[in-house]
Structure 1
Amino acid sequence: MTKIAVIGHIAIDKVIDETGQRVQLGGPPAYTALSFGLLGDRIHAVSKVGDDISKNFLRQLTDLGMDAGNMVVEGAETTRFVLDYTQEIRVLGVESVCEKICSNDIEDLPDAALITPIIGELTDCAVEAIQSDVLALDPQGFLRRRLEDGSIQLQPWRDRELMGRLDVLKASADEVKLITGESDPRRGTEKIRKFGASVAVTTLGQNGSLVAMGGRPSQVPAYDIDVRDSTGAGDVFLGAFMSEYLRGDDPVWCACVGSAMASLVIETNGARIDSTKRDVISRAEELLDCVVRV
């Protein structure tokens, strides 16, 4: 059993879709913990929530393996997102942002750490203080800027020093374009590697993901299922990918497991998976048979 740090805010998500509106636990620590738990690993969460968080959500965090009580900041608000799926493209908004994560919050990290900001909550000093042997990054929170009306504006980001320290960088195709300037996902994925990441993974939604680690990238398909709630799919993908990667598995297989795990979480609502490790591996094996070089 491996302990893996996940550094970034927990969130409360207000999800709006064709079925109505619901409020659920979210944020990378919650979703990656699902993957870790199913694959036999443990989370070391470096996160903060406000004292407005409900006892039910604190209980969920505890059930996911986190020391939830020590995350509560008195007088602060929990980070809260609004995710509107009623439009053709998801509309994302922010209602509140919790206290920033600083360098003095980064201590006693395990050997592996996932840097997973969601809305600029990591200070520069905090990022510099993250010195685990294996580092992975989902840069989404570095690419988002909150406007006064609560809407989110995307912005370019490129921290060559950080990318040079990374073992794995996972980003969506839109995020890769902002980082590299490349509109073609394949070229963008290869460029991420040139920036220094040992393995670059670009997620493509229903078209799966691209994995580059030297030579021609591989395309891993998405598992074909009916989508109920796509929130958190990228987080469980990264969590599952890193669980396998830390066991020394081939990055293409890691992406197959990530894609399989993502397919299971989007069949449910929120940070919940109603399946077993056997289900994950079975779907991953199906996907592995369909991997192609691009």
Structure 2
Amino acid sequence: MFDIITIGHFALDRIFLPGSPRTRKTLGGPPTYTSLAAKKMGAKVSVISKVGGDFPAKYVKWLREQGVDLSGLKISEDSQTTSFMLKYYHGGERDLILRSRAPPISAEDLSPSMKARAVHVSPIANEISVDLIEMVSSMTPIISLDPQGLLRRFNDDGKMSLQKMDDLSFLRCINIFKSSEKEIKALTGRESVTEAIDKIRSYGIEVAIATMGEKGSLLSFSNKFYMVPPAKSKIILDPTGAGDVFIGAFITEYLRNADPLWCTCVGAAAASFVIEKIGPKGFRGNREIYRRAAPIYEKTLKLQL
């Protein structure tokens, strides 16, 4: 049995960073960042994903060398891998442009033999349906969701915008919910992040997290709210994948029966290391993550709402 299975597309990213004339081509997507973060912390990880015939063999080799099980990866030779162009600006804003999209992940891609203590569902380009998310509940006692790809809509030029979902009843099968501040507001149609989290938790979700960049994270569980400050990075080079690393570390620690507040600090610390590098690098083990998480935990603030 695996500790964590991540479901979603791998991505081939082209990254433009402010102040740099170079374009970086890197491996991306939640199966990359979430899996590697969890693996580095000692979790046994696998993925359910689809890529095209253009997916470099060197990435398959590298992921296996890193300890990521790829038995649930399907290669569609006649298709392209999901690919994004990410253009970052000073201040943290970015443009996300879809260049190509792999085939959707379907019920046939779920193997009954793939069991896990937790499954993290994280679409990036509408590749996962709500029906599939509900089916996943039979695979695991814990389902985590980052809804980013459920909300994204792409125009003819591939430029991304967010769209509200009218029916959120599928959230009843979710245990852990993690989203960015912008995405949770778009998902729920609420202008306040606390109201958005309240809406999410009204479906019975045990733990809800909204990440807010330099402001830290807002966490809610057991009808309480906590403000978790960000971890201090030595330098911020590339924020791509930070949210995926956050949740990979969070779930790994959560499976150790840790307090969700501490798990959030661990997630923030793990993410703070990866953004110090470009691409899927900079992953740290438990000791270094805990050392950076401890001062965050001491500064967390319980909110009176």
Q: How far did 1:231 drift?
A: 0.2
| Alpha-carbon offset, residue 259 of structure 1 | 0.1
- Residues 240 and 159 (structure 1 numbering): CA distance in 2 closer, same or farther, change over 3 Å? farther
Name 2:63's counterpart in structure 1.
Answer: 61
Paired position in structure 1 for 2:53: 51
Counterpart position of 1:196:
204
What are the superposed Cα offsets for residues 250-279 of structure 1, whole Å, 9 maximum, x if unpaired?
110010000000001001111112543211
TM-score (norm 1): 0.95
**CA-CA distance at 1:13 after TM superposition:** 0.5
TM-score for the superposition, normalised by structure 2: 0.91
Aligned mates of 1:130, 1:78 — CA distance in 2: 23
Which residue of the partner structure matches residue 109 of structure 2? 105
- The answer for the alignment partner of 2:285 in structure 1 is 276
Q: Do the aligned residues in 1 keep the contact of 2:48 with 2:73 (CA within 8 Å)? A: no
Instruction: Give the conservation status (yes or no) of the 8 Å contact 1:58–1:69.
Output: no
Provide the aligned length of Structure 1 versus Structure 2. Answer: 294
Q: Please list the CA deviations of residues 59-116 of structure 1 after superposition, one character each: whole Å capped at 9, or x if unmatched.
A: 2222231327942111110000110013652000000000110011112332311110
**d(CA) in 1 for partners of 2:273, 2:166:** 32
Residue number in structure 2 paired with 1:75 = 78
Alignment of 1:15-164 (within 5 A): 15-17=15-17, 18-19=19-20, 20-64=22-66, 65-67=68-70, 70-86=73-89, 89-107=93-111, 108-131=114-137, 132-164=140-172
Higher mean C-alpha deviation, range 23-32 or range 175-184: 175-184
Letter of the aligned partner of 2:96 in structure 1? L
Closer, same or farther in 2 for the Cα pair 1:228/1:68, shift >3 Å? farther
Q: Counterpart amino acid of 1:239?
A: G
> Is this contact kept in 1: 2:49–2:72, CA < 8 A?
no
Any idea what the Cα deviations from partners look like across 1:9-40, whole Å, max 9, x if unmatched?
00011000122211000000100112111210
Q: Which runs of 5+ in 2 are unaligned?
A: none
After superposition, the C-alpha distances for 1:198-249 in whole angstroms (9 at most, x for unaligned) are 1110001011101101333001110122211000000000111111111111
How far 1:124 sits from its partner (Å)?
Answer: 4.0
Moved over 6 A (4+): none
Q: Which residue of 2 aligns with 1:168?
A: 176
> Quick check: 1:102–1:125 contact (8 Å CA) kept in 2?
no
* Residue 260 (structure 1) aligns with: 269
C-alpha distance in 1 between matches for 2:167 and 2:4: 23
Q: Give structure 1 stretches of 5+ with no counterpart.
A: none
Distance 1:158 1:268, change over 3 A: farther
The amino acid that maps onto 1:237 is: F
Cα gap change, 1:69 to 1:4, in 2 (>3 Å): closer
> Equivalent pairs: percent with the same residue?
35
Aligned equivalents of 1:41, 1:269: Cα separation in 2: 23
Give 1:175 deviation, angstroms: 0.9
